[in-house]
């Protein structure tokens, strides 16, 4: 039986654990954000931090290696190395909440710039952490939820994330899919309008509580022929079908001014005849997502260690327009690969600076929003 969303999304009574350390971020072209005081302050913080970074530190900010949420000696050793390298963040895999909290604290203390601590929480933290609440999968949620309930649901998940130091959710899923699709249970359904309404409301709920949302999997995984974890799937839809179905939710997410988009490892010949995985395709990212759809937020790749990305390195994704690389196969090697690409002129350093500035901007903006929310809460208690 599906849990009532009125009950599911009610107040959770969690204590609020805030961080005061701000790591920092990018000059945005969005006039709305520029008019916002928090955005202006975040830009200033970003520029200040960027000015002190070496080329290697800049390259490291692009990386978000994956790590199991296990509080053991090996994991802590690896985490310490990530902190020394100054990686932009990590992706938490399966484990438990106490270990995740410890890992989050350890990496934050070891890092000169606050890291993104991200997790797949498409239907709550229970999707990855064994002792967290398990909510209905998206296909079930899509049948019953209202936009108001989805907003409250996102806010609830964000508060649970903050309790264990997670500041980025790799969701919502904007893929439009029916029950026969590989993405069936992960999608809110086959109606692009309903998918966008529910997903955008969930993302707004996350961000209202200071946790970044990451819409995925651009340009749309719903009609893909297979699992991109194993191999590169192909989407055979026409441009008209992509525009009216798959891209519709992403357009609404972008129009809502939300933060980040994840690009998948799928080939869409109607968009890129070269059949490159979308995450390393300049046609998909630079032309479609950035220029045509006007997205100026943070762009992440799907995990680069997936079968669908085989043979493609971080440098190719960065050249295509991505800002951050999820789960690189070898973090050290990918940092060196980006540094070499800059040294050879394949990636311009000013282009790298723009990407890092954007990362730092969002980190600063996220923390400033949390501080503002906390100040508001304190005033309401007086």
Which pair of tokens denotes residue 13? 């009574």
Assess whether 272 carries a catalytic annotation.
no
CA end-to-end distance (rounded Å), the chain: 42
Residue 233 · residue 227 · CB < 8 Å: yes
Q: Is 159 in contact with 209 (CB distance < 8 Å)?
A: yes
Collapsing DSSP to helix, strand or coil, 89 comes out as strand
Considering 178, 229, 243, 296, which one is annotated as catalytic? Answer: 229
Q: Is 197 a catalytic residue?
A: no
- Closest to 118 (Cα-Cα) out of 158, 85, 175: 158
| Rounded Cα–Cα distance for residues 288 and 348 (Å) | 21
Catalytic entry in 175, 246, 272, 302:
302
Question: Which spans in 136-191 are helix H?
Answer: 138-144, 147-163
Q: What is the DSSP letter of 26?
A: -
Q: Which of 320, 206, 336 lies closest to 274, judged by CA?
A: 320
Q: Distance between CA 158 and CA 293 in Å, rounded? A: 27
Question: How far is residue 272's CA from residue 267's CA, in Å, rounded to a whole number?
Answer: 7
Token couple for 36: 């916002």
Residue with tokens 């200033």: 44
- Provide the annotated active-site residues: 229, 302
């Amino acid at each position: 039986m599906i849990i009532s969303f009125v009950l599911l999304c009610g107040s959770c009574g969690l204590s609020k654990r805030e961080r005061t350390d701000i790591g920092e971020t990018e000059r945005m072209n969005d006039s709305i954000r520029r008019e916002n005081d928090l955005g202006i302050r975040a830009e200033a913080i970003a520029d200040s931090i960027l000015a002190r970074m070496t080329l290697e530190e800049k390259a490291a900010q692009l990386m978000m290696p994956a790590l199991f949420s296990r509080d053991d000696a090996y994991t802590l050793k690896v985490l310490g190395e990530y902190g020394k390298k100054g990686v932009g963040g990590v992706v938490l895999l399966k484990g438990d909440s106490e270990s995740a909290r410890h890992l989050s604290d350890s990496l934050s203390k070891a890092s000169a710039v606050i890291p993104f601590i991200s997790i797949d929480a498409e239907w709550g933290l229970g999707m990855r952490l064994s002792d967290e609440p398990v909510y209905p999968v998206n296909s079930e949620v899509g049948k019953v939820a209202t936009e108001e309930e989805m907003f409250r649901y996102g806010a609830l998940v964000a508060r649970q994330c903050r309790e264990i130091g997670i500041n980025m959710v790799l969701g919502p899923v904007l893929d439009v899919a029916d029950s026969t699709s590989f993405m069936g249970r992960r999608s809110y359904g086959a109606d692009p309008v309903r998918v966008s309404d529910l997903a955008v409301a969930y993302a707004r709920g996350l961000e209202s509580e200071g946790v970044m949302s990451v819409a995925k999997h651009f340009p749309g995984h719903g009609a893909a022929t297979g699992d991109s974890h194993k191999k590169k799937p192909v989407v055979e839809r026409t441009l008209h079908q992509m525009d009216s179905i798959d891209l519709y939710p992403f357009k609404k997410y972008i129009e809502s001014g939300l933060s980040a988009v994840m690009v998948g490892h799928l080939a869409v010949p109607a968009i890129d005849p070269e059949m490159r995985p979308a995450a390393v395709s300049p046609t998909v990212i630079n032309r479609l997502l950035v220029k045509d759809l006007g997205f100026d937020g943070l762009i992440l790749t799907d995990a680069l260690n997936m079968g669908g990305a085989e043979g493609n390195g971080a440098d190719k994704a960065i050249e295509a327009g991505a800002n951050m690389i999820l789960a690189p196969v070898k973090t050290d090697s990918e940092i060196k690969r980006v540094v070499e690409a800059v040294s050879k002129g394949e990636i311009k350093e000013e282009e790298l600076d723009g990407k890092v500035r954007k990362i730092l901007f969002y980190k600063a903006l996220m923390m400033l929003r949390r501080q503002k929310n906390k100040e508001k809460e304190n005033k309401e208690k007086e």
